[in-house]
Amino acid sequence: MAFKAGETILNYINGRWTASVSGEVDASISPADKSLAVGYIQRSKKADLDGAAVAAKAAQMAWRKLSGPARGEYLYKVADILERRLDEVAETMTREMGKTFPEAKGETARGVAILRYYAGEGMRKIGDVIPSTDSEALMFTSRVPLGVVGVISPWNFPVAIPIWKIAPALIYGNAVLFKPASEAAVTAAKIMECFDEAKIPAGVIQMITGKGSELGQALIDHPVLNGITFTGSNQVGKRIAQSAVARGIKYQLEMGGKNPVIVAADADLEQAVEATLSGGLKSTGQKCTATSRVIVQSGIYEAFRNRLVERVQELKIGDGMDPQTWMGPCASASQYETVLSYIQKGQEEGATLLFGGTVPEQAGDGFYVTPAVFEKVTPEMTIAKEEIFGPVLALIQVETLEEALQLANDSEFGLSASIFTKNIGNMLSFINDMEAGLVRVNAESAGVELQAPFGGMKQSSSHSREQGTAAIEFFTAIKTVFIKS
């Protein structure tokens, strides 16, 4: 089955495309033109979830009995199908949440690579032999699946994030109940179509759409779950943690960031400017790893600021499907309003708006805003503290590297951070002292590689890591086995 643009998509439950018991749907609208519906999604109820939960439990029993390589074969098939349908999936993503078509294609290709990576994991070791004090015994560990895992994903990476949660969950023998973000659920259905076409056994992966406040809450409270993995806001993440702790199930949270870039006086100016543009404004700044605070040493400040503003002025804002477009719209009406309100707050609190932060004339019915560059930002200002999740850069001038590091760490978040410098001492201080899960030298703050652990410190995560070989830590439990004849 392949849903067409503008159609009503259904839930994928127990291997079948199924309408919700509610009989209600919600439009997923295009951020490039809010009068266009990219599709209609089911407004599902707890009763839909209950049916899926029964199917998941039954399916997981059989799925865990398959060998790792056999489970991997399914993921390889899904990867091949997604690769064949890459342009179609990427176009749906661009139309539904606004990122440019080249970015959407890159993300979909990353989804393919993640599927293949975890397909290969099905052939790798899942335990260790440990010497026992009893010389006649054999002692070893084995990794076993958690059971049924809930996946709640955001709209900003509608393909990569669901896949980097679903693929490891499946390869290690879990069944998945997947609730995508409502604003990217049509794209999520495209991923499900690939699993369906690969003939994955019914019930192993199921997708149910609906409002976070109702269906999402019902999922996190559902007794069928043995684990839950989430990416999104801190507010929702905290609710998930509370519910998981109350029921004693495993949870994994990836949440916000307020990512700094330090530009040292000896930095390569062009490199630092281009990385700030890319890290801060690609995907319209809607990445948890996006550059938000730009901390610049005074020796290079003026040259950096002037070049940055010059380059930001050149960026073309428009529909992500237009090949000329460098930056698309904000993903939704609520993101748009949030971003505009932060820009207003920045000005009210006394920061200087050097450029942007306005609604372009040709915006029409789209959620467009020009990238905003602020200077004279102080650490206590709201735009220096809160995650904006939009195309807003806050420049902060400092004298010394020590001051830069101290300001960079002055945040409740600790996801990613970059420094631009040629000095090895600066690099080492930054690597040692920066409180972030991802530290990058002479590279933009955004940029996650699927084979490496990903996650944050402080309020940015539940202190667990996703992706690469780290994924096995969350999606399995260790069983220690002792055998004596």
Ligand X SMILES: O=C(O)CCC(=O)C(=O)O
Residues marked as catalytic:
254
From the list ligand NDP, ligand X, none, partner contacted by residue 446 (C-beta under 5 to 8 A by kind): ligand X
Which tokens hold the place of 269?
A: 């100016």
Q: Does 438 bind ligand NDP (CB under 6 A)?
A: no
Beta bridge partners of 16: 13
Beta bridge partners of 141: 480
Q: How far apart are CA 290 and CA 135, in angstroms?
A: 54
Binding segment (CB under 6 A) for ligand NDP, from list 7-15, 70-78, 135-143, 227-235: 227-235
Q: Does 156 bind ligand X (CB under 6 A)?
A: yes
From the list ligand NDP, ligand X, none, partner contacted by residue 216 (C-beta under 5 to 8 A by kind): ligand NDP
**Binding footprint of ligand X, residue count (CB under 6 A):** 9
Q: Does 182 bind ligand NDP (CB under 6 A)?
A: yes
From the list ligand NDP, ligand X, none, partner contacted by residue 448 (C-beta under 5 to 8 A by kind): ligand X
From the list ligand X, ligand NDP, none, partner contacted by residue 85 (C-beta under 5 to 8 A by kind): none
**Residue 474's CB: how many other CB atoms inside 10 A?**
21
User: With respect to ligand X, which residue has the nearer C-beta, 145 or 180?
Assistant: 180
The vertex-337 CA angle with 215 and 345, nearest 5°, equals 125
Please report, to the nearest 10 degrees, the dihedral formed by the alpha carbons of residues 420, 422, 426, 432 taken in order.
Answer: 70
Query: Residues 118 to 147: which contact ligand X by CB under 6 A?
Result: none
Decide if 289 contacts 257 (C-beta within 8 A).
Answer: yes
Q: Does 289 bind ligand X (CB under 6 A)?
A: yes
Query: Residues 229 to 258: which contact ligand X by CB under 6 A?
Result: 231
Q: How far apart are CA 453 and CA 313, in angstroms?
A: 36
Query: Residues 147 to 166: which contact ligand NDP by CB under 6 A?
Result: 152-156
User: With respect to ligand NDP, which residue has the nearer C-beta, 15 or 256?
Assistant: 256
What separation in angstroms does the CA of 229 have from each of 116, 149, 161, 250, 461?
21, 8, 11, 9, 11
What separation in angstroms does the CA of 275 have from each of 282, 289, 418, 422?
10, 13, 10, 15
User: Whole-number minimum distance, CB 121 to ligand NDP, in Å?
Assistant: 24
Q: Does 217 bind ligand NDP (CB under 6 A)?
A: yes
Which tokens hold the place of 179?
A: 């609730």
- Going edge to edge, which strands form the sheet with 352-355? 352-355, 372-375, 392-398, 291-297, 259-263, 416-420, 438-441
User: Whole-number minimum distance, CB 403 to ligand X, in Å?
Assistant: 27
What one-character DSSP code corresponds to residue 44? -
Strand 372-375 and strand 352-355: the pairing is antiparallel
User: Whole-number minimum distance, CB 441 to ligand X, in Å?
Assistant: 17
Q: Does 287 bind ligand X (CB under 6 A)?
A: yes
Rule CB under 6 A: which residues touch ligand NDP? 152-156, 179, 181-183, 211-213, 216-217, 220, 231-233, 236, 239, 254-256, 288, 335, 338, 387, 389
